[in-house]
Structure 1
Amino acid sequence: MYVITFANPKGGSGKTTSAMLLAEQIAHSGGRVAILDLDPNANILAWAEARSADGRQVPFAIHARPQADEIVELIDSLNDTTDYLIIDLEGSKDQVVTFALSRTDLCVIPLDGSPMEARQAAAAVRLVQTTSSMIRAPINYTLLFTRTNAAFQTTDERDVRKEMEINNIPSLPVRVAKRAPYTRIFRDGVLLSELLAIVTAEHEGKTASVTDKALRQVTSAIENARDYAQALIHALTNERAS
């Protein structure tokens, strides 16, 4: 089982959305996926409960936050039934985060490319490194630029990338852009793959140009999510192989 954690002490970094997009893409490819929702906001758990209440399928297992001393046992118990365990971490430094990181194959640290978020991401990197020293084993990590402009790379993002490269902090080559379809995942309790049918129905009777524009937004979001997931899995398997 691969264990992938998402960590950032700052809220609104795209951490939970990135975790959900990855889970859906892996499940769509046939992988057995589970999510452990350790974020106090429990947005993923609420999303799953809302879908279940409506009789809609949840394509991966969702586990609620257990007691801190049960984290490692829960993670290890999923090994025989899960190919990929995705953990949405809370932002604070506590035992829950440390225990989850101790079982991590790759920690993903989302940030939007601004200098302020770069400082928060650096704090997450230090937390990973401290935990790695504590357990006397390496914990691989990578930055993921999220909520970025889909059309171009800002000066701030370019500067942050350059600074991270100078400090030998790895980052994924694919960004997760800020897109309206990603917002709808939690707002409407949907999967990204369901949006094409939903948007088509919403635009029934509207002009072809308006409908095409709306569908292109969804298609672009799906392509971005797929490319991001592929890049992350590539980094994950390369780290495991090395």
Structure 2
Amino acid sequence: MYVITFANPKGGSGKTTSAMLLAEQIALSGGRVSILDLDPNANILAWSEGRQAAGRDVPFAVHARPQAEDTVELIDQLADEADYLIIDLEGSKDQVVTFALSRTDLCVIPLDGSPMEARQAAAAVRLVQTTSSMIRAPIAYSLLFTRTNAAFQTTDERDVRQEMEINNIPTLPIRIAKRAPYTRIFRDGVLLAELPDIVTNEHQGKTASVTDKALKQVAGAIENARDYAQAVIHALTKERAA
């Protein structure tokens, strides 16, 4: 089982959305996926419970935060049911975060490209490195630029990228743009793959140009999510092979 964790001490970095997008894309490709929601806000768990209460399918198992001392045991047990375990970590330097990182194959650290978020991402990198030293084993990690402008790269993002390159901090080649369809995942309790049909139904009676524009936004979000998931899997398998 591959274990992929998402870490950033700052809220609003796109951590939970990135975890959800990855889980859906892997599940769509036929992989067995489980999510362990360690974030105190438990947004993924609430999303899953809401869908189940409405009688809608959840394509992956979602597990609630265990007691800290049970974290490693739960992760190891989930290897029987999943090919990929995605863990949404809480932001603080909690013991449960250290336990989860100790079982991590790849830690993804989302940030929006601003200098302030770069400092928060650096704190997450230090936490990964500290845990790696503690367990005396390497833990692979990579930054992920999220909530970016889909049309162009800002000056701040370019400067942060250059700084990361200078310091040899790995960064995923795909950015997750700030898109309205991603917001709907949690707001409306939907899967990204469900949005084409939902948007089509919502735009019945509207002009073709308006409908096409809305569907293009969804198609762009799906393509972005697919490319991002492929980049994560490539990084993951590369690290496992090494």
Same fold (TM over 0.5): yes
1:81, distance to aligned residue in structure 2 (A): 1.5
Give the match for residue 105 of structure 1.
105
Give the match for residue 87 of structure 2.
87
Partners of 2:90 and 2:194 in 1: CA distance: 28
Give the match for residue 44 of structure 2.
44
1:229 counterpart letter in structure 2: A
1:94, distance to aligned residue in structure 2 (A): 1.3
Partners of 2:64 and 2:4 in 1: CA distance: 16
Partners of 1:225 and 1:169 in 2: CA distance: 23
1:154 counterpart letter in structure 2: T
Partners of 1:64 and 1:171 in 2: CA distance: 29
1:104, distance to aligned residue in structure 2 (A): 0.1
Give the match for residue 183 of structure 1.
183
Partners of 2:50 and 2:77 in 1: CA distance: 26
- Pairing of 1:18-33 with structure 2 (within 5 A): 18-33=18-33
1:187 counterpart letter in structure 2: R
Deviation string 1:12-51 (CA, Å, 9 cap, x unpaired) is: 0000000000000000000000000000000000000000
Partners of 2:80 and 2:198 in 1: CA distance: 36
Partners of 2:82 and 2:60 in 1: CA distance: 10
Give the match for residue 213 of structure 1.
213
1:70, distance to aligned residue in structure 2 (A): 0.3
Partners of 1:198 and 1:84 in 2: CA distance: 28
Give the match for residue 227 of structure 2.
227
Q: Secondary structure at the match of 2:17?
A: helix
Partners of 1:204 and 1:234 in 2: CA distance: 40
Deviation string 1:35-74 (CA, Å, 9 cap, x unpaired) is: 0000000000000000000000000000000000000000
Give the match for residue 147 of structure 2.
147
Unaligned segments of structure 2, at least 5 residues: none
The count of aligned residue pairs is 242
Give the match for residue 239 of structure 1.
239
Q: Secondary structure at the match of 1:108?
A: strand
1:9 counterpart letter in structure 2: P
1:148, distance to aligned residue in structure 2 (A): 0.1
1:5, distance to aligned residue in structure 2 (A): 0.0
Give the match for residue 173 of structure 2.
173
In the superposition, the TM-score normalised over structure 1's length comes to: 1.00
1:84 counterpart letter in structure 2: Y
Deviation string 1:91-148 (CA, Å, 9 cap, x unpaired) is: 0001100000000000000000000000000000000000000111000000000000
